[in-house]
Protein backbone atom coordinates (compact mmCIF):
# COMPACT_ATOMS: atom_id res chain seq x y z
CA UNK A 1 0.00 0.00 0.00
CA UNK A 2 1.48 3.31 -0.99
CA UNK A 3 2.03 5.54 2.04
CA UNK A 4 1.56 8.58 -0.09
CA UNK A 5 -1.92 8.15 -1.54
CA UNK A 6 -4.58 10.20 0.24
CA UNK A 7 -6.91 8.08 2.37
CA UNK A 8 -10.66 8.76 2.57
CA UNK A 9 -13.26 7.54 5.00
CA UNK A 10 -16.42 6.21 3.37
CA UNK A 11 -18.54 4.44 6.00
CA UNK A 12 -21.04 3.27 3.35
CA UNK A 13 -18.33 1.74 1.13
CA UNK A 14 -19.94 -1.10 -0.83
CA UNK A 15 -19.04 -3.19 -3.87
CA UNK A 16 -20.41 -0.86 -6.61
CA UNK A 17 -17.88 0.10 -9.25
CA UNK A 18 -18.63 3.84 -9.00
CA UNK A 19 -19.16 5.49 -5.61
CA UNK A 20 -18.68 8.97 -4.20
CA UNK A 21 -17.08 10.91 -1.40
CA UNK A 22 -19.46 13.14 0.54
CA UNK A 23 -19.38 15.92 3.16
CA UNK A 24 -16.04 16.74 4.78
CA UNK A 25 -14.28 14.01 2.83
CA UNK A 26 -15.33 15.49 -0.52
CA UNK A 27 -14.48 19.03 0.63
CA UNK A 28 -11.03 17.90 1.74
CA UNK A 29 -10.38 16.15 -1.58
CA UNK A 30 -11.58 19.09 -3.66
CA UNK A 31 -10.36 22.14 -1.75
CA UNK A 32 -7.31 20.96 0.19
CA UNK A 33 -5.86 18.13 -1.89
CA UNK A 34 -7.21 19.56 -5.18
CA UNK A 35 -7.70 16.08 -6.62
CA UNK A 36 -8.26 15.69 -10.35
CA UNK A 37 -9.80 12.95 -12.49
CA UNK A 38 -7.48 9.90 -12.67
CA UNK A 39 -5.77 10.69 -9.35
CA UNK A 40 -5.38 7.55 -7.24
CA UNK A 41 -6.81 7.37 -3.74
CA UNK A 42 -7.36 4.90 -0.91
CA UNK A 43 -10.71 4.36 0.77
CA UNK A 44 -11.56 2.74 4.10
CA UNK A 45 -14.93 1.96 5.66
CA UNK A 46 -13.45 2.23 9.18
CA UNK A 47 -14.37 -1.39 9.84
CA UNK A 48 -11.23 -3.01 8.48
CA UNK A 49 -11.71 -2.65 4.73
CA UNK A 50 -9.07 -0.73 2.77
CA UNK A 51 -9.45 -0.35 -1.00
CA UNK A 52 -7.74 1.47 -3.80
CA UNK A 53 -9.64 3.72 -6.18
CA UNK A 54 -9.28 6.42 -8.78
CA UNK A 55 -11.13 9.72 -9.14
CA UNK A 56 -13.72 9.27 -11.91
CA UNK A 57 -15.42 12.63 -11.97
CA UNK A 58 -15.48 15.87 -10.07
CA UNK A 59 -17.90 18.68 -9.43
CA UNK A 60 -17.87 21.66 -7.07
CA UNK A 61 -19.12 19.62 -4.13
CA UNK A 62 -18.66 15.96 -4.92
CA UNK A 63 -15.98 13.55 -5.99
CA UNK A 64 -16.84 10.24 -7.63
CA UNK A 65 -14.35 7.43 -7.57
CA UNK A 66 -14.01 4.09 -9.31
CA UNK A 67 -13.35 1.26 -6.87
CA UNK A 68 -10.31 -0.74 -7.95
CA UNK A 69 -9.37 -3.48 -5.49
CA UNK A 70 -9.43 -4.42 -1.82
CA UNK A 71 -6.03 -4.25 -0.14
CA UNK A 72 -4.64 -6.23 2.74
CA UNK A 73 -4.95 -3.97 5.85
CA UNK A 74 -1.57 -3.20 7.40
CA UNK A 75 -2.80 -3.32 11.00
CA UNK A 76 -4.99 -5.73 12.87
CA UNK A 77 -8.12 -4.57 14.66
CA UNK A 78 -7.10 -3.00 17.99
CA UNK A 79 -8.66 -4.89 20.90
CA UNK A 80 -8.18 -2.13 23.44
CA UNK A 81 -11.27 -0.49 24.91
CA UNK A 82 -10.72 2.76 26.81
CA UNK A 83 -13.40 3.97 29.23
CA UNK A 84 -12.41 7.45 30.39
CA UNK A 85 -13.92 10.21 32.48
CA UNK A 86 -13.81 13.31 30.24
CA UNK A 87 -11.27 15.89 31.39
CA UNK A 88 -12.43 19.35 32.45
CA UNK A 89 -10.41 20.84 29.59
CA UNK A 90 -11.67 19.43 26.27
CA UNK A 91 -8.32 19.96 24.50
CA UNK A 92 -6.76 17.40 26.81
CA UNK A 93 -9.43 14.81 26.04
CA UNK A 94 -9.21 15.47 22.31
CA UNK A 95 -5.44 15.17 22.26
CA UNK A 96 -5.68 11.96 24.25
CA UNK A 97 -8.23 10.45 21.87
CA UNK A 98 -6.03 11.34 18.89
CA UNK A 99 -2.95 9.75 20.51
CA UNK A 100 -4.80 6.58 21.58
CA UNK A 101 -6.17 6.05 18.07
CA UNK A 102 -2.69 6.42 16.60
CA UNK A 103 -1.34 3.88 19.10
CA UNK A 104 -4.29 1.47 18.81
CA UNK A 105 -7.82 1.93 20.12
CA UNK A 106 -10.78 -0.32 19.34
CA UNK A 107 -13.52 1.41 21.31
CA UNK A 108 -13.96 4.54 23.39
CA UNK A 109 -16.47 4.93 26.19
CA UNK A 110 -17.03 8.11 28.17
CA UNK A 111 -17.97 7.67 31.81
CA UNK A 112 -19.25 10.26 34.25
CA UNK A 113 -17.94 9.86 37.80
CA UNK A 114 -18.63 11.42 41.18
CA UNK A 115 -15.57 13.67 40.84
CA UNK A 116 -16.19 14.55 37.18
CA UNK A 117 -16.15 18.28 36.56
CA UNK A 118 -17.23 17.75 32.97
CA UNK A 119 -20.46 15.85 32.43
CA UNK A 120 -21.19 16.67 28.81
CA UNK A 121 -19.10 15.99 25.75
CA UNK A 122 -19.65 16.79 22.10
CA UNK A 123 -19.23 13.27 20.77
CA UNK A 124 -19.54 14.50 17.17
CA UNK A 125 -16.37 16.56 17.67
CA UNK A 126 -14.52 13.54 19.05
CA UNK A 127 -15.73 11.51 16.06
CA UNK A 128 -14.18 14.04 13.66
CA UNK A 129 -10.90 13.83 15.56
CA UNK A 130 -11.11 10.04 15.47
CA UNK A 131 -11.60 10.00 11.68
CA UNK A 132 -8.66 12.34 11.21
CA UNK A 133 -6.42 10.26 13.51
CA UNK A 134 -7.41 7.03 11.76
CA UNK A 135 -6.52 8.52 8.38
CA UNK A 136 -3.30 10.05 9.72
CA UNK A 137 -2.11 6.66 10.97
CA UNK A 138 -3.19 4.94 7.72
CA UNK A 139 -5.42 2.55 9.62
CA UNK A 140 -8.69 0.94 8.54
CA UNK A 141 -10.39 0.81 11.93
CA UNK A 142 -12.43 3.66 13.37
CA UNK A 143 -13.23 3.15 17.06
CA UNK A 144 -16.83 3.35 18.21
CA UNK A 145 -17.36 6.30 20.54
CA UNK A 146 -20.34 6.09 22.85
CA UNK A 147 -22.28 8.90 24.52
CA UNK A 148 -21.28 9.63 28.15
CA UNK A 149 -22.80 7.23 30.68
CA UNK A 150 -22.78 7.29 34.49
CA UNK A 151 -20.01 4.96 35.68
CA UNK A 152 -22.46 2.63 37.50
CA UNK A 153 -24.40 2.06 34.29
CA UNK A 154 -21.20 1.49 32.38
CA UNK A 155 -19.80 -1.02 34.86
CA UNK A 156 -22.98 -3.03 35.13
CA UNK A 157 -23.22 -3.38 31.33
CA UNK A 158 -19.55 -3.84 30.42
CA UNK A 159 -18.81 -7.37 29.24
CA UNK A 160 -15.08 -7.23 28.36
CA UNK A 161 -13.23 -10.39 29.24
CA UNK A 162 -10.78 -8.27 31.23
CA UNK A 163 -11.81 -5.05 32.94
CA UNK A 164 -9.11 -2.98 34.64
CA UNK A 165 -9.57 0.08 36.83
CA UNK A 166 -6.54 2.38 37.19
CA UNK A 167 -6.55 4.49 40.33
CA UNK A 168 -4.14 6.24 42.70
CA UNK A 169 -5.77 5.35 46.03
CA UNK A 170 -4.35 2.95 48.57
CA UNK A 171 -5.03 -0.76 48.31
CA UNK A 172 -3.49 -3.59 46.35
CA UNK A 173 -2.95 -2.84 42.68
CA UNK A 174 -0.93 -4.62 40.02
CA UNK A 175 1.04 -2.87 37.29
CA UNK A 176 -1.07 -2.92 34.13
CA UNK A 177 0.23 -5.59 31.77
CA UNK A 178 -0.77 -6.16 28.18
CA UNK A 179 -2.64 -9.32 27.44
CA UNK A 180 -3.76 -10.90 24.26
CA UNK A 181 -7.51 -10.88 24.90
CA UNK A 182 -9.57 -7.73 24.33
CA UNK A 183 -9.58 -5.69 27.52
CA UNK A 184 -11.16 -2.53 28.86
CA UNK A 185 -9.29 0.00 31.00
CA UNK A 186 -11.16 2.47 33.21
CA UNK A 187 -9.47 5.85 33.73
CA UNK A 188 -10.93 8.25 36.28
CA UNK A 189 -11.42 12.02 36.33
CA UNK A 190 -9.26 14.72 37.90
CA UNK A 191 -9.62 13.85 41.59
CA UNK A 192 -9.68 10.11 40.78
CA UNK A 193 -12.42 7.55 41.25
CA UNK A 194 -14.03 7.54 44.70
CA UNK A 195 -13.56 4.57 47.02
CA UNK A 196 -17.16 3.51 46.40
CA UNK A 197 -16.71 3.63 42.60
CA UNK A 198 -13.63 1.44 42.89
CA UNK A 199 -15.47 -0.99 45.17
CA UNK A 200 -18.38 -1.19 42.77
CA UNK A 201 -16.05 -1.83 39.81
CA UNK A 202 -14.17 -4.53 41.74
CA UNK A 203 -17.47 -6.14 42.78
CA UNK A 204 -18.26 -6.31 39.04
CA UNK A 205 -15.00 -8.09 38.26
CA UNK A 206 -12.64 -5.17 37.59
CA UNK A 207 -9.00 -5.66 38.58
CA UNK A 208 -7.34 -2.64 40.25
CA UNK A 209 -4.16 -1.57 38.45
CA UNK A 210 -1.56 1.19 38.53
CA UNK A 211 0.44 2.65 35.65
CA UNK A 212 3.81 3.16 37.31
CA UNK A 213 5.21 5.02 40.29
CA UNK A 214 4.08 8.50 39.26
CA UNK A 215 0.73 10.21 39.57
CA UNK A 216 -0.49 10.87 36.02
CA UNK A 217 -3.13 13.24 34.74
CA UNK A 218 -6.26 11.63 33.32
CA UNK A 219 -5.23 12.01 29.69
CA UNK A 220 -1.64 10.90 30.37
CA UNK A 221 -2.87 7.79 32.17
CA UNK A 222 -5.04 6.95 29.15
CA UNK A 223 -2.13 7.28 26.70
CA UNK A 224 0.24 5.26 28.92
CA UNK A 225 -2.46 2.62 29.44
CA UNK A 226 -3.09 2.44 25.71
CA UNK A 227 0.65 2.01 25.04
CA UNK A 228 0.91 -0.79 27.61
CA UNK A 229 -2.17 -2.60 26.30
CA UNK A 230 -0.81 -2.51 22.75
CA UNK A 231 2.56 -4.04 23.67
Q: How far is the CB of 189 from its own copies (least distance, A)?
A: 15
Determine how many CB atoms are found less than 10 A away from the CB of residue 156. Answer: 10
Q: How far is the CB of 25 from its own copies (least distance, A)?
A: 21
CB nearer its own copies, residue 3 or residue 60: 3
DSSP state of 161: S
DSSP state of 115: T
Q: Which residues make beta-bridge pairs with 50?
A: 44, 71
Q: How far is the CB of 50 from its own copies (least distance, A)?
A: 14
Q: Can you tell me the distance from the alpha carbon of 220 to that of 92, in angstroms, rounded to the nearest whole number? A: 9
Q: How far is the CB of 78 from its own copies (least distance, A)?
A: 9
Return phi, psi of residue 96, to 5°.
-60, -45
CA-derived radius of gyration, the chain = 20
Q: ∠ CA 102-106-212 to the nearest 5 degrees?
A: 70
CB nearer its own copies, residue 104 or residue 106: 104
**CA distance readout (Å), 180 to 5, 45, 163:** 32, 25, 13
CB nearer its own copies, residue 62 or residue 132: 132
Residues that bind its own copies (CB under 8 A): 3, 74-75, 95, 99, 102-104, 136-139, 212-217, 219-220, 223-224, 227-228, 230
Amino acid sequence: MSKDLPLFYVPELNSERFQYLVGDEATHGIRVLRLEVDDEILITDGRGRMSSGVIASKSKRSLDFELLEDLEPEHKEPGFHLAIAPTKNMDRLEFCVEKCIEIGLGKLSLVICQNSERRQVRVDRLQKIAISAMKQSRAAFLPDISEPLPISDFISHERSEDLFIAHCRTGEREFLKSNSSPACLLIGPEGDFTESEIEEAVANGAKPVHLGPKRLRTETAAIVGCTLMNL
